[in-house]
Chain A
């Protein structure tokens, strides 16, 4: 063979050298270092000044006497405590005062209530209630009430057999059981005053929410949007338990209690019997819209505000139309139940964006004057500022990564759906952000009047979803979708965001590794408390987000921290550890991570939770030494 010319040899040598260098560079790169989440806050904007700050509602009164009588703190849902003994300077020395085991291995979402030296605790199924006497050493159990709900109700609860707590009013404790009963107990003795059955588990109906008591009414909403349940909100008489009114979330106007008082702001909400005509025939009878979340109350306007859940089935191609009145917010007159306005945040919802999150009632400076608004970190990923007298959307800005809606059209109030994310039958739509649990799920945020910020504990999850045909069989799930969730951009699955509702932007943000499923608590000591899914309970500075104190608890935290003043005058902070719920079902339900679609897709996002925490409910109470 003839010897190749010299220039060819040079080219060959250069090529070989380039390949060798490139390969060794790639090998040396390896995997990027895993970032550490949860220890620092990212600063994004300046804190609002005193004149540009959101205020609590003009009639707002923080819980008095160091008590805590409702899960959201007060009817305007601020989760703010006026106690200031624990502050940013001394919270670092917080230590465990006592613990209380519930011997229950399911998800503990409820927080305790403290009234008059007694602490009241509710558990997940079987929904036991304990009263602990805080005045005696050792905090003995004063009384224990076991409602014994039907065993079969465990089979129709979509997202673990949770209970979101009790409400205290007028010497009575009100709570709901999984099999759909609302029970009133005498707070002093624990004896049952009345019990009313509101749900039929054979139709898939359950109740998990914490009731709201307002103007002598106990307000209770059903759960079951994944079971083809037609949602409804019932008002019971607080004295007798009799049904005062019942408002459905779908169907004819008469059932939805829409009458002459109904004045929605946007044209899409105006019309007769829209709860029938925006559904395929009979679709509304199994249409969802369950109000299983939070209710706020304005005593000046005599209105309650609550959101309705997702339409059923998840498979949106089977239910054409706007699907009213699901995935939206109702304002109703609390005594009669008549609707005043409605705003649908997700018309023809495609991604399980229940609108049941808390409605924080604030007064904000808006274009020169104070305006009464609802501030809501919504499931859709948008932080909504809505006028609470008329239902007009004043402002909407994404607080989480959102690609399902391009923006909210301010003229019509409707989200402009991203056509690339619309589902097609038999095909998977990828990278849907936020995922089905939304920018934020039920776990409530907190508002501090001292900083004017809303502290939002939320998710950073995206998902792939495919729709198939759903079949309806009463008492079984009515879904028709396979989903698989994973971390959103940035790799962190959760966030605690401090949000300025007036400028409608984030001020600082702590990125957390796992989805943040606990509620937030803001105190007058300028400390914000929240917990992580693998059980780390944290205290951060309300102004800067700096981590001040943390403690790893025996189980993941999905409940709502609260604070109270004990009989000895000291301030205590209490939180339940007890992983479960939708996010922690992989641990509390023993699910199999090999199937990414388990738990409606959540298992895929938190496969690493299994080695990081165990199930088991335990209340922790902390105080300064």
Chain B
């Protein structure tokens, strides 16, 4: 019993919090969770019955052998029939239970498909080594929001994610909301989400994709539709060149290596191969969830990305202390 109890703390991180595999904070997650409960319940009952049966078999067998060594007689004929009936009952019960579980699975699958049928919000998520590009679709092309490493979803509405990859196979997994879906280069897959409670969650890449696979996380914020609209409109606002204190950092950003890969809307920097930084300061984390957002962490990341995520594609740009300070001050204005 003591040994069994040791397992419980291991279960806890996986079963609670912002990255909970048992999370039921979306319709999809809840459906799968319900199926999981059915399976768990059935399995526990069957397991208990099997253990009881095994115990009985062991005890009975011992008594049977004692009787045999003492007397010389055949086993009572009444013992055979119960065994036979038991066997038939057991086999049919197993078949019925399995069939029932299959029906339950099929019903869950149908419910999942129905839940994702109509999606008023479409988002494209493109996996890169080791960051996520997120593009919200809109029939008016100029209202498309391009961001990185974060996903905002309105609660109570279905969102369809179209998943692609630019290099190797990644996998989108938001444990609280839904199951995993692979992102395969050259193909498009999709994932429907219908969150049912607000909150912040953490998604994780679930297919080994290289050295920094473990550090490829995504912040998912589920908020009320009004808050979501507010966030969306804020994302559409460009960031023209600032004056004053941030101007020095702006000049460094535009004239040095930053603009070769990153983009900031409203400025000449239109690099496409690295996360869009137009509203980077409004995010909760940087470097795909590797560090929480703060001035110190921004400085730490920009000054030496290889120390934080060794092997990732952002080079260590040689910057003096004052240059670093100016650049971080500019990045902090990109709310």
Which one of B137, B141, B142, B270 contacts A286 once the chains associate, using CB atoms below 8 Å?
A: B270
List, in ascending order, chain B residues with CB within 8 A of A283's CB: 141
Nearest-CB distance from A227 to chain B (Å)?
13
List, in ascending order, chain A residues with CB within 8 A of B137's CB: 320
List, in ascending order, chain A residues with CB within 8 A of B211's CB: none
Task: Indicate if the CB atoms of B272 and A469 lie closer than 8 Å.
Answer: yes
Interface-side segment among B1-9, B148-156, B260-268, B298-306: B260-268
Nearest-CB distance from B161 to chain A (Å)?
16
Among B141, B143, B144, chain A packs the most CB atoms within 10 A around the CB of B141
The answer, yes or no, to whether A135 is at the interface (CB within 8 Å) is no
Task: Indicate if the CB atoms of A318 and B141 lie closer than 8 Å.
Answer: no
Residue-wise interface mask of A (400-431) relative to B, using a CB-CB cutoff of 8 A (1 in contact, 0 not): 00000000000000000000000011110000
Task: Indicate if the CB atoms of B144 and A281 lie closer than 8 Å.
Answer: yes
Task: Indicate if the CB atoms of A282 and B238 lie closer than 8 Å.
Answer: yes
Nearest-CB distance from B260 to chain A (Å)?
5
List, in ascending order, chain B residues with CB within 8 A of A280's CB: 141-142, 144, 146
List, in ascending order, chain B residues with CB within 8 A of A426's CB: 164-166, 185-186
List, in ascending order, chain B residues with CB within 8 A of A424's CB: 186, 188
Task: Indicate if the CB atoms of A425 and B142 lie closer than 8 Å.
Answer: no
Residue-wise interface mask of A (298-318) relative to B, using a CB-CB cutoff of 8 A (1 in contact, 0 not): 000000000000000000001
The answer, yes or no, to whether A472 is at the interface (CB within 8 Å) is yes
Task: Indicate if the CB atoms of A472 and B272 lie closer than 8 Å.
Answer: yes
The answer, yes or no, to whether A471 is at the interface (CB within 8 Å) is yes
Q: Count A interface residues, CB 8 Å.
A: 26
List, in ascending order, chain B residues with CB within 8 A of A427's CB: 186
Task: Indicate if the CB atoms of B141 and A282 lie closer than 8 Å.
Answer: no
Q: Give the interface SS of chain A, mostly helix, strand, loop or mixed.
A: loop
Nearest B residue to A470, CB-CB: B272
Residue-wise interface mask of B (258-291) relative to A, using a CB-CB cutoff of 8 A (1 in contact, 0 not): 0111010110101111000000000000000000
The answer, yes or no, to whether A321 is at the interface (CB within 8 Å) is yes
List, in ascending order, chain B residues with CB within 8 A of A371's CB: none
- Please, how many angstroms separate the alpha-carbon atoms of A470 and B263 in the complex? 13
Task: Indicate if the CB atoms of B185 and A282 lie closer than 8 Å.
Answer: no
Task: Indicate if the CB atoms of B271 and A472 lie closer than 8 Å.
Answer: yes
List, in ascending order, chain A residues with CB within 8 A of B263's CB: 282, 472
The answer, yes or no, to whether B236 is at the interface (CB within 8 Å) is yes
Nearest-CB distance from B276 to chain A (Å)?
10
Q: Which of A56-103 contact B (CB under 8 A)?
A: none
Which one of B166, B265, B273 contacts A282 once the chains associate, using CB atoms below 8 Å?
A: B265
Q: Known contacts being A276-B142, A320-B141, A321-B141, is A281 close to B272, with CB within 8 Å? A: no
Task: Indicate if the CB atoms of B270 and A282 lie closer than 8 Å.
Answer: yes
Residue-wise interface mask of B (171-187) relative to A, using a CB-CB cutoff of 8 A (1 in contact, 0 not): 00000000000000110
The answer, yes or no, to whether A254 is at the interface (CB within 8 Å) is no
Task: Indicate if the CB atoms of A318 and B265 lie closer than 8 Å.
Answer: no
Q: Which of A369-407 contact B (CB under 8 A)?
A: none
The answer, yes or no, to whether B140 is at the interface (CB within 8 Å) is yes
List, in ascending order, chain B residues with CB within 8 A of A286's CB: 270
List, in ascending order, chain A residues with CB within 8 A of B188's CB: 424
- Please, how many angstroms separate the alpha-carbon atoms of A322 and B141 in the complex? 8
Q: Known contacts being A285-B270, A286-B270, A472-B271, is A320 close to B144, with CB within 8 Å? A: yes
Task: Indicate if the CB atoms of A473 and B271 lie closer than 8 Å.
Answer: yes
Nearest B residue to A427, CB-CB: B186
Nearest-CB distance from B90 to chain A (Å)?
53
Task: Indicate if the CB atoms of B164 and A425 lie closer than 8 Å.
Answer: yes
Task: Indicate if the CB atoms of B164 and A281 lie closer than 8 Å.
Answer: no
Task: Indicate if the CB atoms of B273 and A471 lie closer than 8 Å.
Answer: yes
Nearest-CB distance from B185 to chain A (Å)?
5
Task: Indicate if the CB atoms of B141 and A277 lie closer than 8 Å.
Answer: yes
Nearest A residue to B267, CB-CB: A282
Q: Known contacts being A426-B185, A427-B186, is A279 close to B272, with CB within 8 Å? A: no
Nearest-CB distance from B313 to chain A (Å)?
12
Task: Indicate if the CB atoms of B238 and A281 lie closer than 8 Å.
Answer: yes
Nearest A residue to B138, CB-CB: A320
List, in ascending order, chain A residues with CB within 8 A of B142's CB: 276-281, 321
The answer, yes or no, to whether A193 is at the interface (CB within 8 Å) is no
Task: Indicate if the CB atoms of B144 and A277 lie closer than 8 Å.
Answer: no
Nearest-CB distance from A172 to chain B (Å)?
37
The answer, yes or no, to whether A474 is at the interface (CB within 8 Å) is yes
- Please, how many angstroms separate the alpha-carbon atoms of A403 and B266 in the complex? 39
Q: Known contacts being A427-B186, A469-B166, A473-B260, is A279 close to B141, with CB within 8 Å? A: yes
Nearest A residue to B141, CB-CB: A321
List, in ascending order, chain A residues with CB within 8 A of B259's CB: 473
Task: Indicate if the CB atoms of A282 and B266 lie closer than 8 Å.
Answer: yes
Q: Which of A232-284 contact B (CB under 8 A)?
A: 276-283
Nearest-CB distance from B139 to chain A (Å)?
9
- Please, how many angstroms separate the alpha-carbon atoms of A424 and B268 in the complex? 28
Nearest-CB distance from B118 to chain A (Å)?
22
- Please, how many angstroms separate the alpha-carbon atoms of A602 and B165 in the complex? 29
Nearest B residue to A279, CB-CB: B141
List, in ascending order, chain A residues with CB within 8 A of B144's CB: 280-281, 320
- Please, how many angstroms separate the alpha-carbon atoms of A285 and B270 in the complex? 10
Nearest B residue to A428, CB-CB: B186
List, in ascending order, chain A residues with CB within 8 A of B266's CB: 282
- Please, how many angstroms separate the alpha-carbon atoms of A426 and B238 in the complex? 30
List, in ascending order, chain B residues with CB within 8 A of A469's CB: 166, 272-273
Nearest-CB distance from B167 to chain A (Å)?
9
Task: Give me 18 A-to-B residue pairs in the complex whose CB atoms sit less than 8 angstroms apart, sorted by A's number.
Answer: A228-B270, A277-B140, A277-B141, A280-B142, A280-B146, A281-B142, A281-B146, A281-B236, A282-B266, A285-B270, A321-B141, A322-B141, A424-B188, A425-B186, A426-B164, A470-B272, A472-B263, A473-B259
Given A424-B188, A425-B164: 9 more A-B contacts, CB < 8 Å: A276-B142, A278-B142, A281-B146, A281-B238, A320-B144, A321-B141, A469-B272, A469-B273, A471-B260
